[in-house]
Copies of this chain bind each other. A is one copy, B any other.
């Protein structure tokens, strides 16, 4: 694995999930693998879970970590080709990425959808330019439209509970939209569909009319507009709000879609999942979040395992690369 931006960067999603389960069992197995290696984490947006879990994962592997809040500690980056840079952006991503690649062996990047221009967001320009110009592996810490570390976490959490509960057969996994007062990105939902499609699950998507996701991610997915019908018999219920794709970035009003105990009673004693942060009693009722069915905290804990798994794969990739630079230099000098 050379980068970690979409599921296409993995050799096999199910195998990566198995590796994550191994890491969860033996978290200290590779505690020297990252020695002398540095992870740079660049945040263009606020972050709690991703920030802390990825740092922790790197430290578990003996890596050094450098964290930078790019928007606050640095400046705005230009992404257009050929432009005369006489505006607000002080540096082109070409230079920024290449320079950061000089100091870091792996670079993690968080960007957010601005939710104003679907095309601009769906191009994921910054992270793709980092992939092109950094010269080192790039890890998405959530881009405008994908959140692969979250999805690996989600599959790890599902597989762990399937094994624990000795569930046989294909589990029914329901992704349900829920209400929110702010316009949120579609990244978590998009990635969840992208990744679960590669597992042997019965996946069902449920949301109000108007909350349809991009066809790029829903192709082949069963959509059920009746939330209660969808929840029936579910083994795992994944709750997430997102703003409109068709009416791009608009908040969708549907307060009835809040998750309640009554709705959870329709499921097959499903485990409740959410990527957090969650607004209590707006998205999910206290009674559900505080019940034994909720595994959101454990799920958040698995973020560390997912990040560690990805870093292990990338560090192993780096080991396969020659590092003749020191030798070459000593011949020259």
Contact = CB atoms under 8 A, between A and B. Distances in A.
Nearest to A84: B281
Contacts of A94: 280
Nearest to A38: B56
A43 B91 CA distance: 19
Given A25-B330, A86-B181, A48 B99 contact: yes
Given A25-B329, A326-B27, A74 B46 contact: yes
- A contact residues, range: 35 or more
A28 B38 contact: no
Contacts of A217: none
Nearest to A25: B330
A73 interface: yes
Nearest to A296: B95
A73 B110 CA distance: 12
Interface in A254-299: 276-282, 286, 296-297
B52 A95 contact: no
Contacts of A326: 25-27
A83 B280 contact: yes
A221 interface: no
A136 to B, nearest CB: 12
A198 interface: no
Contacts of A228: none
Interface stretch (A62-70, A188-196, A201-209): A62-70
Contacts of A160: 332-333
Contacts of A129: none
Most buried by B among A73, A103, A163: A103
Most buried by B among A28, A52, A181: A52
Interface string A148-164: 00000000000010011
A165 to B, nearest CB: 10
Contacts of A49: 99
A64 B59 contact: yes
9 contacts: A25-B330, A48-B96, A78-B280, A82-B286, A83-B281, A85-B281, A90-B277, A95-B278, A102-B301
A75 interface: yes
A74 B102 contact: no
